[in-house]
Structures are given as structure tokens and as C-alpha cells.
Amino acid sequence: MKVLSLGGSTSSESINRRFARYAASLISEADVTDLDLRTLEVPLYSVDLEERDGAPADAQRFLDMIRSHDAIVISLAEHNGSYTAAFKNLYDWVSRIEQELWSGKPMLLLASSPGGRGGATVLEAAKATFPRMGADLRASFSLPSFYDNFDAKTGIRDAALAQGLRDAVDALTAA
């Protein structure tokens, strides 16, 4: 299974990119592509730019990556209760190319944050909108208090949270 893993942040130390990568690593025999959103350059969306220049090449490249994978693991960072500006901008551009930008791909939707809510607000927003944009949303999972609950070598420290993530990964890969 070819899995696209991404964190919805452009931080070089993105906890959500780390979390998505970890979750994708739990998929047996997966060929994982770790996408760093910092490698995609798209100007701030504007209908004027779109009419003048069309969609940026990296917006099309992102859509092509989605289409070339069998499943998506995405972990969203939360800024002020919503998507990060960089992710939302990319999402806006790609949706102008293809309304159902997630291309019917099975998706595991994640969020984490340093705080106790674990990105719950952005996760709920994505759960409401991503299926309308072509996601086959199989499961979602929020990891609260990332720095307390996650270890780079061993993964999720809390047994109940670790089982919750394993259940979500299993739901993603179920036939």
C-alpha cells in the first residue's frame, strides 16, 4: 500500500508531521511518502492570480501526489482553532483544480497539539469538510498533550491512547 503522510504545518519541528509519520509507520508493509509542506510553494490564493496565471505547479503536484497513493495519513496542526494558514492556502488552491481533491482515497485524519485538547477543533472542522471534498474518511484520532504523550523512540506512552491510534490505523487499512 502506498501511503501519503503529511502534517498540516510548515514548521521544521512540526509535531503533526512527526505524528502522521509515526501513524503511517504502523501500517504493515506500507510504502510511505513523507510530504513536507515546506517543499510546496504556492502564493496566497487570489481569484485574480488564478485568472491570470492558473493554479501553481505545486498545487497540481500535491493533487498528483494524492492521486498516486492508495491512502492518506494527515495530522493537522491547529492555529487559533483552525487550519494553519499554509495548509488552508494549499487546500484552497488544490480545491480550485479539483473539487474532490482527496480523490476518494481512504484517509486517517489526525491532530495533535501541546495542549490538552489535541487539536480537537481543527479535527472536527476537517471531519465535517474533508468527506465532501472526496475523502473516504475511515477514522480520526486526536493526541492531546503531545510532549507528555509521545516519545520519538517508543511512540505513544499512554496505553489507552496507543490502542486508540492502533484501532484508527486498523480502520484505515480494513478492506
**pLDDT tens, position by position, 86-139:** 999 999 999 999 999 999 999 999 999 999 999 999 999 999 999 999 999 999
70-84 average pLDDT score: 96
Backbone angles phi, psi at 121, to 5 degrees: -70, -45
Nearest Cα neighbor of 8 from 138, 16, 73 is 16
Model pLDDT, residue 175: 67
**Domains parsed from the chain with CATH numbers:** 2-173 (3.40.50.360)
Model pLDDT, residue 157: 97
Calpha distance 103→10 (Å, rounded): 23
**Average pLDDT score over the chain:** 97
Backbone angles phi, psi at 65, to 5 degrees: -65, -45
12-17 average pLDDT score: 97
Would you say 119 and 113 are in contact if contact means Cβ atoms under 8 Å apart? yes
- pTM, two decimal places: 0.96
Model pLDDT, residue 82: 94
Nearest Cα neighbor of 90 from 175, 173, 174, 10 is 10
Model pLDDT, residue 144: 98
* Distances in whole angstroms, Cα of residue 26 to Cα of each of 29, 162, 173: 9, 11, 11
Q: What is the pLDDT of residues 41-60, one digit of tens each?
A: 999 999 999 999 999 999 99
Spatial neighbors of 171 by CB under 8 A, at least 6 apart, are: 108, 138, 139
Residue 166's Cβ-side half-sphere holds a number of Cα atoms within 13 Å equal to 9
154-160 average pLDDT score: 97
63-87 average pLDDT score: 97
Residue type for position 108: L
